Chains A and B, each alone.
Chain A
């Protein structure tokens, strides 16, 4: 095969993690996927720890390209990598991932059509005696993946986790890659555009890589939360229709007392707020010592919310700006009509209709009996045939059993013409 036209391009943005990167490259060398059909593109972003030298000297059994640049951020780095890629499928992997030997093969196996976007599994390795924060962090990730595994899961833009995913080069180019104005949440934003463009998200548990992130702790997490707050403001401007799904939508001045207190401090009294948030962390340390889990968790939620709002305040400056953002978005809300589906047509037929129509919402009937309604979810993919049965099994067991029960007497007793036997005369 011509070495200029590969099948898979693995794109790795990296920043000062020479050792992890080296491990990653050697894991890529162990792939079950034919190495000659695969290229690896490393984009070193402002590296000063000898990463470039390591790459230059690296003797890879696959085509290895690297490029470097000063402080461009992950989104730009990934776009840069994509520009240099020649593969049919782009696999994005972060530098703190240790891919399993089957990762590339598993990604490729799911790319049966050009609209497929494969999300890989990122388990955190087991830790010895982790603290509260790390326990919950791992749980957050695993809950997320657990949801992807549920039959009938409707993928959302938030399910695009940039640490380990793949997309056809064609799609990626069409979408013009990541939006580089995002400092974080660039993956969600790409996810939103890909989904709107009709992409088909799938999850592959086999495409797993251990997430060797040992650095994230409470402090980092709070710092990130602040960035996310700012990024969500930008996100709401780009995608007003998704605002209801964003956290900031819950902090307008019309929202509940608790959230309005938080946003009051974040927007208007941030000196006091920062002071209190700082002390809250000391309090959390104390609660952790006493192992008072639920209190700790409540406080942690509060502090995270506070820093998120601080980020939003960084971008918006005032609460009136937040209210304007929310009201502007709500007018952009697009009403969608629910598709009526009669299950008496037979399940395969109902599934075919769903696959053809791809409605955002549906109303299920069995004959003239109403079973239930599946509402449109902001940011989620439109309904597909494969969602139908799992949704009924998960949400409408009771209604469905009633419908079937009512159907039964007619099935078993009705024969020939309908006869009338009027009630017994008294």
Chain B
């Protein structure tokens, strides 16, 4: 009885992906879940999500049921894709070029193991995996990595961007792809990356990041309420010439560090990741978006390719979620301060962006909005994070200077 009540009140979501070009049968239902959130793809191209609720006692979701949900919820992308397929110039099937994958990690062996399990069996002919162990507190990661056919590199300076830069240094191949230790890509990830870089103008590539699971309320809130990490299913070529200052500043909409790839030569032209930023420093993040911003500002082309899919394990506890959102507020603030100091775009635009787009449209409006999507306390948490960012920025720059000085001494 009690169990039934729970089942009736709380939905437990299972995340799936279905490629309509391949998977054409009924889906078996796992009795632990009562709701299925399905990413629908057609021949590797994602169309969007459909959500199906499963009544108690059903052992499978009918193929028809999936199709009728697709029909009613994904009409527009379907028609668009079909048209796109018609007009797309017959593209050459390009040869597989070698790709380096960099995974930066720190003391999270369980997550890293599941990530490596997927990475090592990716369907692609030539690639290497570099695990950068960032200022570890033990040898656990080193021991774990031994079991996999990957390269282990240790970066002792704490800070994700130190680790990323180290990964770039170590990479042997002209394309460097990044994913996180708490994420894993889709099977055809490297094929999509390879294909996207056949356009010689594409210097940076980002993709869709979906939730690997939505078992916990915190994950559901982050993905469905807060917006998650995905940025839609439309391909976008992002370049300075066609973007407004506001668009350029909203670099967090270009992609996420958990799913990005670069032509290695781009770092020679725009420099490495900013070691003052991101996790492991007081700024707590922002290294990835600052890099996107910098690449686009230097007149390079960045492609957001939704077919390039990575699944990310969102924070599963309330506390961890809160911390992440707090960090988001703080790191984005640091990134904006950085833009302001470096005058990457006109300063009035930055002030306007901060006040109108971020503070008002995102934070205040979320706070005022009634409803169950984003809990208000979460918006407040982000705002708190934002308020600490000037302090964090100052501190992170001081620390960065010290570290650099120290490394020079050594």
Contacts and interface: CB of A to CB of B under 8 A. Distances in A.
B64 interface: yes
A405 B19 contact: no
B22 A402 contact: no
Given A369-B71, A409-B21, A423 B82 contact: no
Nearest to B80: A405
B117 to A, nearest CB: 10
B311 interface: yes
Contacts of B83: 405
A421 interface: yes
Contacts of B25: 418, 420
B17 interface: yes
B16 A423 contact: yes
B23 A420 contact: yes
Contacts of B253: none
Interface string A398-415: 000110111011101110
A424 interface: yes
A406 B22 contact: no
A413 B85 CA distance: 13
B24 A418 contact: yes
B23 to A, nearest CB: 5
Q: Say what secondary structure dominates the interface of chain B.
A: mixed
A409 B43 contact: yes
A402 B78 contact: yes
B24 A368 contact: no
Interface string B1-42: 000000000000001111111111101100000000010001
A419 interface: yes
B70 A406 contact: yes
A405 B213 contact: no
A275 interface: no
Given A409-B43, A424-B17, A426-B213, A402 B23 contact: no
Interface string B148-183: 000000000000000000000000000000000000
A415 to B, nearest CB: 10
A161 to B, nearest CB: 42
B17 A413 contact: no
Interface in A368-426: 368-369, 401-402, 404-406, 408-410, 412-414, 418-424, 426
Interface residues of B, number: 32
A409 B20 contact: yes
B400 interface: no
A250 to B, nearest CB: 36
A299 to B, nearest CB: 45
A408 B45 CA distance: 14
A410 B25 CA distance: 13
A320 B71 CA distance: 50
A317 B409 CA distance: 112
Contacts of B42: 409, 413
A412 B64 CA distance: 20
A389 B328 CA distance: 55
Interface size class of A (residues with CB under 8 A): 20 to 34
B17 A406 contact: no
B220 to A, nearest CB: 15
A244 to B, nearest CB: 32
Nearest to A369: B71
Contacts of A422: 23, 27-28
B187 A424 contact: yes
B316 interface: no
A369 B71 CA distance: 8
Nearest to B26: A420
Contact of B75 (A402, A410, A412, A419): A402
Contacts of B78: 402, 405-406
A233 B175 CA distance: 83
B24 A423 contact: no
Nearest to B212: A426
B82 A404 contact: yes
A413 B43 contact: yes
B70 to A, nearest CB: 7
A402 B19 CA distance: 18
Contact of B71 (A402, A414, A419): A402
Nearest to A426: B212
B181 to A, nearest CB: 15
Nearest to A406: B78
A371 to B, nearest CB: 11
Given A413-B43, A423-B16, A424-B186, A401 B22 contact: no
A423 B27 CA distance: 9
Interface string B260-275: 0000000000000000
A53 to B, nearest CB: 72
Interface string A330-355: 00000000000000000000000000
B75 A421 contact: no
Contacts of B23: 419-423
Given A368-B64, A405-B79, A421 B17 contact: no
Nearest to B15: A426
B211 to A, nearest CB: 10
B279 interface: no
Given A402-B79, A424-B186, A413 B64 contact: no
Contacts of A368: 64
Contacts of B202: none
A410 to B, nearest CB: 8
Contact of A419 (B20, B22, B82, B212): B22
Given A402-B78, A405-B78, A423 B17 contact: yes
B22 A413 contact: yes
A389 to B, nearest CB: 20
A315 B75 CA distance: 54
B54 interface: no
A409 B212 CA distance: 26
Nearest to B16: A423
A141 to B, nearest CB: 40
Contacts of B24: 410, 414, 418-420
A418 to B, nearest CB: 5
A405 B22 contact: no
A401 B77 CA distance: 12
Contacts of A418: 24-25
A305 B28 CA distance: 64
Contacts of A405: 78-79, 81-83
A405 to B, nearest CB: 4
B246 to A, nearest CB: 33
Given A413-B42, A421-B19, A426-B213, 6 more contacts: A368-B64, A405-B82, A406-B71, A408-B82, A413-B43, A422-B28
**Top-9 shortest CB links A-B:** A405-B82, A413-B21, A423-B16, A420-B25, A405-B79, A418-B24, A405-B78, A409-B42, A402-B75
Interface of A: 368-369, 401-402, 404-406, 408-410, 412-414, 418-424, 426
30 contacts: A369-B71, A402-B71, A405-B79, A405-B81, A405-B82, A405-B83, A406-B70, A406-B71, A408-B82, A409-B21, A409-B42, A409-B43, A410-B24, A412-B21, A412-B43, A413-B21, A413-B22, A413-B43, A414-B24, A418-B25, A419-B22, A420-B23, A420-B24, A421-B22, A422-B27, A423-B17, A423-B23, A423-B27, A424-B186, A426-B15
